[in-house]
């Protein structure tokens, strides 16, 4: 809540000593010299005046900040007794809750201030050089600010000036009698909206007797190259990004957005120079992102994606952008699949709350698995995907990654709340359906984690584990006789999935982009790297007709019915069972470089379960959520040391049962069976 009150977003910029790439692009950087009456320091370069329509960078208490000065966030009238210059000054806005006796003392102020300082990383002590008091709610009969509060601010922060609502009074002595004193200026009643709090820069306009307040953003370096850029709201009424000026469901939550989601005024690159040049300006925000904004989330930047959200896990597969670095383990690990930027960012930056990604065939779940994060692929169609670059519309979904199970539950229950796809449930299922195929050969340390987790769930939530052998019940054992001798003929296989994604994206997105490039470059095919060249040229050489897509869709629907019927539907529990298994053990660890992966040993032997780890939920449209339960050591080919790799469980339910899974995760969290993971080399 404090971050919401401070309206404080973290926008990234390289510090002076860092070699990291600057994240916050700007048209004109203006640096200014610190005025003598406060502690704002120029970050570099010559001093200059501040003019409208410019942006500037500065330091407070050796912390880098950014403020857009072209449009004040708030303007109020003031009757000032202080001698303010026409420069920028830091101010801390503090809303006051009226006490029972109507007196606000240091006993009320000190714990409030100390909580602000401890819980918000944007705020520093220098912001208290000037303090503005206003009522949290209506104070029709006034409020008395005791001298002890003023003395506390003067001694603790060397406060030089105070603004207060005209309905407030104080017993501050007059200057010159040897007692503590500070200039106090009044502002009209109700000139500041209720609840507004936090650090700002203000500028006094003497000929108008007005105060202009400007937002403050702390700047962070992007050491791990996880973001494409940083962004900030314009605050000019154009809708080119909204300010955070109220307390909402996500108030103050900082979010990075995968760079396939449109944000008005910010280029969508899709990880591709070709797409960036073809697309041009973005004039509308994706509805899914707009919903986050409307609920109070602060978007701090667009996170990197593999080109066109089409697979890719190593530096060799990313041609136009440097593949992001993971903070986990040896720091040579991949964050896997197209939502790699959103995942890598969360391993590195503890000020980042969650990231938005897309999942077509595992692009959120796989990054979560290797990075040790909470993530999800929701029920197909649960949230709109307008303004999102498609890969395969049949299975495209939008989800999130986060370090916290509580945030996963809170964010998704609001984000997906108005979907008609959601199904009712009265309580949780009683059965966990667990594939047994790979348990006999599972390494002991991993097996101990998995079995311990299942037993804890049984004892805590009263559920039962039912093992199922997928090798025995898989459709290839029961295909319809006489239709075809090939066992997978009637079902949508991983090969079908791969072929359909390339064909669909070529037809619905890529073909006009390539044609446009060829028309402007004398028929030359664009340079997009070997993988995309091969896939696109194959799609062009053998274009699919509508009947080809129809046949694949029939197979997908048939396969979906089989998988969803195995999980089962129930009116009381939404899903008859929860399908649960450890995730992707035979494909981890994954290094950033292909040559390491070619010679590395995996955590577990090759998967015997004939169902691929990520495909069933994508094909069936079922919700699939992944949660970290622990970590195990592995010998790194990069560091030569034993590093830790996270172990995650995959949870799948019947389509429409997302909220039931979220309730399940919430109960696990509150029972202490899962917990928030941390940034850095290890998740736990």
Domain boundary among 202, 217, 232: 217
* pLDDT tens by residue, 294-306: 998 999 999 999 9
12 class by beta-carbon count within 10 Å (0-12 exposed, 13-18 middle, 19+ buried): buried
When mean pLDDT is compared across 15-19, 319-323, 621-625, the lowest value belongs to 15-19
Answer whether residue 600 is part of any domain: yes
Q: What is the pLDDT of residues 352-361, one digit of tens each?
A: 999 999 999 9
Beta strands in 379-532 (DSSP E): 397-402, 431-435, 464-468
Which 3 state secondary structure label does DSSP give 105?
coil
**pLDDT (0 to 100) of residue 378:** 99
pLDDT at 649: 99
Q: How does residue 219 score in pLDDT terms, banded at 50, 70 and 90?
A: confident
Interatomic CA distance for residues 650 and 655, integer angstroms: 15
Higher pLDDT, 241 or 124: 124
| 525 lies in some domain | yes
Report pLDDT digits (tens) over 464-486.
999 999 999 887 655 454 555 45
Give the H or E element holding residue 77: strand 74-77
CA distance 443 to 428: 31
Is residue 286 over pLDDT 90?
A: yes
Q: Say if 314 falls within a structural domain.
A: yes
145 inside domain: yes
Same domain, 605 and 622: yes
Is 677 within the bounds of a domain?
A: no
Residue 93 has what pLDDT?
Answer: 94
Do 441 and 300 belong together in one domain? no
CATH number of residue 275's parent domain: 3.90.1300.10
Residue 14 pLDDT more than 70?
A: no
Last residue of a domain, one of 191, 217, 243: 217
Mean confidence (pLDDT) of the chain: 86
Place of tokens 């028309």: 519
> Are 346 and 266 members of one domain?
yes
- Are 461 and 594 part of one and the same domain? yes
The predicted structure's pLDDT at residue 178: 55
Of 49-58, 75-84, 116-125, the one with minimum mean pLDDT is: 49-58
Nearest to 301 by CA among 343, 347, 254, 249: 254
* The predicted structure's pLDDT at residue 139: 67
Q: Is the pLDDT of residue 227 over 60?
A: yes
pLDDT digits (tens, 9 = 90+) for 547-597: 999 999 999 999 999 999 999 999 999 999 999 999 999 999 999 999 999
SS (H, E, C) 552-563: HHHHHHHHHHHH
Instruction: Give the residue numbers spanning the domain of 361.
Output: 224-415
Q: Is the pLDDT of residue 42 over 70?
A: no
Q: Are residues 517 and 569 in the same domain?
A: no
Percent of all residues in the chain with a pLDDT value above 90, rounded to a whole number? 68
Domain membership flag for residue 670: no
What is residue 255's three-state secondary structure? strand
Q: Which residue has the higher pLDDT, 43 or 118?
A: 118
Same domain, 389 and 499: no
Q: What is residue 441's predicted lDDT score, i.e. its pLDDT? A: 96
Least confident of 178-182, 417-421, 479-483, 542-546: 479-483
- Do both 280 and 380 map to the same domain? yes
Q: Beta strand pairing status for 55-60 and 29-30? A: parallel
Q: Are residues 294 and 308 in the same domain?
A: yes
Verify that 516 and 369 share a domain, yes or no: no
CB under 8 Å to 387, separation ≥6 — which residues? 261, 262, 284, 285, 286, 287, 288, 289
For 117-127, write each residue's pLDDT tens digit: 998 899 999 99
Q: Are residues 57 and 137 in the same domain?
A: yes
pTM of the predicted model, to two decimals?
A: 0.80
- Give the pLDDT mean for 420-439: 97
Closest alpha carbon to 194 in 73, 97, 295: 97
* pLDDT confidence bin for 85, thresholds 50/70/90: low
In this structure, the answer to whether residues 444 and 398 fall within a common structural domain is: no
Mean pLDDT to the nearest integer, 21-37: 31
Whether 16 has a pLDDT exceeding 80, the answer reads no
Give pLDDT, residue 81: 64
| pLDDT number for residue 87 | 78
What the block records as the tokens of 371 is: 């990075």
Note the pLDDT of residue 52.
Answer: 37
The verdict on residue 488 lying in a domain is no
Confidence of residue 98 (pLDDT cuts 50, 70, 90): confident
Domain edge (last residue) among 217, 250, 277: 217
| Cβ proximity of 211 and 93 under 8 Å | no
Is residue 538 domain-shared with residue 607, that is, in the same domain?
Answer: no
**Domain for residue 421, yes or no?**
no
Mean pLDDT of 626-647: 98
Contact 89, 203 (CB under 8 A): yes
Q: How many domains does the chain have?
A: 4
pLDDT of residue 228: 82
Q: pLDDT grade, residue 174 (50/70/90)?
A: low
Query: Could you report the per-residue pLDDT of 515-533, keeping only the tens digit for each?
Result: 999 999 999 999 999 999 9
């Amino acid at each position: 809540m404090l971050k919401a009150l401070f309206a404080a977003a973290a926008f990234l910029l390289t510090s002076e000593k860092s070699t990291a790439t600057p994240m916050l692009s700007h048209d004109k950087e203006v640096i200014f010299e610190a005025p003598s009456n406060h502690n704002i320091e120029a970050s570099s370069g010559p001093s200059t005046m501040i003019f409208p329509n410019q942006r500037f960078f500065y330091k407070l208490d050796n912390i880098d900040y950014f403020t857009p000065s072209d449009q004040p966030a708030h303007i109020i009238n003031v009757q000032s007794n202080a001698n303010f210059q026409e420069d920028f000054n830091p101010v801390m806005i503090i809303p006051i809750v009226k006490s029972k006796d109507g007196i606000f003392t240091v006993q009320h102020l000190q714990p409030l201030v100390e909580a602000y300082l401890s819980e918000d990383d944007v705020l520093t002590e220098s912001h208290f050089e000037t303090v503005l008091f206003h009522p949290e709610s209506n104070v029709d009969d006034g409020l008395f600010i005791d001298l002890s509060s003023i003395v506390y601010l003067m001694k603790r922060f060397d406060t030089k000036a105070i603004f207060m609502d005209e309905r407030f009074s104080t017993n501050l002595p007059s200057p010159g009698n040897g007692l503590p004193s500070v200039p106090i200026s009044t502002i009209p009643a109700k000139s500041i909206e209720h609840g507004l709090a936090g650090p700002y820069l203000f500028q006094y306009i003497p000929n108008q007797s007005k105060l202009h307040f400007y937002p403050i953003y702390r700047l962070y370096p992007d050491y791990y190259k996880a973001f494409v850029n940083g962004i900030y709201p314009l605050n000019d009424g154009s809708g080119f990004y909204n300010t955070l000026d109220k307390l909402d469901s996500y108030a103050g939550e900082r979010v990075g957005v995968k760079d396939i989601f449109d944000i008005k005024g910010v280029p969508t690159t899709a990880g591709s120079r070709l797409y960036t040049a073809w697309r041009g300006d973005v004039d509308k925000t994706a509805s899914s992102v707009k919903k986050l904004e409307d609920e109070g989330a602060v978007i701090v930047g667009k996170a990197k994606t593999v080109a066109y959200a089409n697979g890719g896990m190593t530096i060799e597969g990313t041609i136009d952008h440097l593949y992001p670095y993971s903070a986990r383990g040896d720091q040579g690990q991949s964050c896997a699949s197209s939502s790699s930027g959103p995942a890598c960012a969360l391993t590195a930056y503890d000020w980042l709350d969650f990231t938005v990604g897309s999942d077509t065939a595992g692009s959120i779940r796989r990054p979560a698995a290797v990075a040790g994060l909470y993530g999800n692929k929701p029920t197909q169609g649960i949230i709109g995907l307008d303004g999102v670059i498609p890969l395969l519309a049949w299975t495209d979904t939008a989800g999130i990654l986060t370090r916290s199970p509580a945030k996963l539950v809170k964010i998704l229950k609001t984000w997906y709340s108005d979907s008609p796809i959601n199904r009712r449930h009265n309580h949780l299922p009683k059965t966990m359906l667990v594939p047994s195929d790979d348990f006999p050969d599972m390494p002991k340390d991993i097996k101990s984690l998995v079995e311990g987790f299942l037993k804890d769930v049984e004892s805590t939530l009263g559920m039962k584990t039912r093992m199922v052998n997928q090798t025995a019940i898989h459709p290839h054992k029961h295909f319809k006789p006489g239709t075809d001798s090939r066992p997978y003929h009637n079902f949508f296989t991983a090969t079908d999935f791969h072929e359909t994604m390339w064909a669909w994206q070529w037809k619905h997105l890529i073909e006009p982009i390539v044609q446009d490039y060829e028309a402007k470059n004398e028929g030359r095919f664009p340079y997009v790297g070997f993988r995309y060249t091969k896939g696109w040229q194959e799609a062009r050489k053998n274009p699919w007709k509508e009947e080809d897509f129809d046949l694949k869709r029939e197979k997908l629907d048939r396969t979906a019915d089989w998988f969803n019927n195995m999980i089962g539907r129930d009116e009381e529990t939404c899903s008859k069972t929860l399908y649960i298994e450890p995730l992707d053990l035979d494909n981890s660890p994954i290094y950033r470089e292909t040559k390491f992966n070619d010679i590395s040993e995996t955590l577990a032997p090759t998967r015997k379960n004939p169902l691929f780890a990520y495909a069933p939920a994508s094909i069936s449209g079922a919700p699939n959520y992944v949660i970290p339960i622990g970590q195990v050591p592995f010998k790194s080919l990069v560091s030569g040391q034993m590093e830790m790799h996270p172990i995650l469980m995959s949870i799948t339910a019947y389509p429409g049962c997302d909220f039931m899974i979220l309730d399940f995760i919430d109960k696990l969290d509150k029972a202490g069976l899962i917990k928030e993971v941390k940034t850095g080399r290890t998740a736990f």
